[in-house]
Chains A and B, each alone.
Chain A
Amino acid sequence: AQTVTQSQPEMSVQEAETVTLSCTYDTSESDYYLFWYKQPPSRQMILVIRQEAYKQQNATENRFSVNFQKAAKSFSLKISDSQLGDAAMYFCAYSGPWGEYSGGGADGLTFGKGTHLIIQP
Chain B
Amino acid sequence: DTGVSQNPRHKITKRGQNVTFRCDPISEHNRLYWYRQTLGQGPEFLTYFQNEAQLEKSRLLSDRFSAERPKGSFSTLEIQRTEQGDSAMYLCASSPGANGNTIYFGEGSWLTVV
Contacts and interface: CB of A to CB of B under 8 A. Distances in A.
B97 A100 contact: yes
Interface stretch (B17-25, B33-41, B68-76, B78-86): B33-41
Given A109-B43, A111-B42, A44 B55 contact: no
A21 B67 CA distance: 35
Given A33-B100, A43-B89, A100-B98, A106 B55 contact: yes
B45 A108 contact: yes
B4 to A, nearest CB: 9
A89 to B, nearest CB: 9
Given A44-B108, A45-B105, A111-B44, A103 B99 contact: no
Interface residues of A, number: 34
Contacts of B100: 32-33, 50, 52, 95, 97
A49 to B, nearest CB: 10
Interface string A83-107: 0000000010101011111111111
A109 B103 contact: yes
A42 B105 CA distance: 13
A113 interface: yes
B66 interface: no
Range of interface residues on chain B?
A: 20 to 34
B39 to A, nearest CB: 11
Contacts of B103: 47, 95, 108-109
Interface string B2-42: 00000000000000000000000000000001010000111
Contacts of A97: 99-100
B99 A114 contact: no
A106 B58 CA distance: 10
A45 B44 contact: no
Contact of A107 (B45, B91, B108): B45
